[in-house]
Amino acid sequence: MVVLVGNGHIIRKFGIPDRAFSRTHAPFKTIYLAEVGGEAERDWADYLWITAETPMRHMPMRRPAP
């Protein structure tokens, strides 16, 4: 099973991981996604996935069709 959630739902295995384990007893691993230079601590997850900073692209707004 793969569950994609915001980082706040997995830090220190609190939230979704501990609830799922208490119901299924299935083994699990957590991955915390962080940008280079961002905040992350080793005990937040089993794995830290560090990514390069990516600038936001400007996307023009579409106008509704008449």
Entry field: residues in the chain: 66
Residue 33 lies in a domain: yes
Q: How confident is the model at residue 40 (pLDDT cuts 50, 70, 90)?
A: confident
pLDDT higher than 80, residue 62:
no
Residue 23, pLDDT score: 92
* Tokens linked to 15: 């939230």
Query: Among all chains, which residue has been given the structure tokens 């991955």?
Result: 31
The parent domain of residue 23 ranges over 7-51
Alpha-helix runs per DSSP H in the chain = 16-24
Total domains present in the chain: 1
Residue 62 lies in a domain: no
- What are phi and psi for residue 55, nearest 5 degrees? -65, 145
Determine the average pLDDT of the residues in 29-55: 87
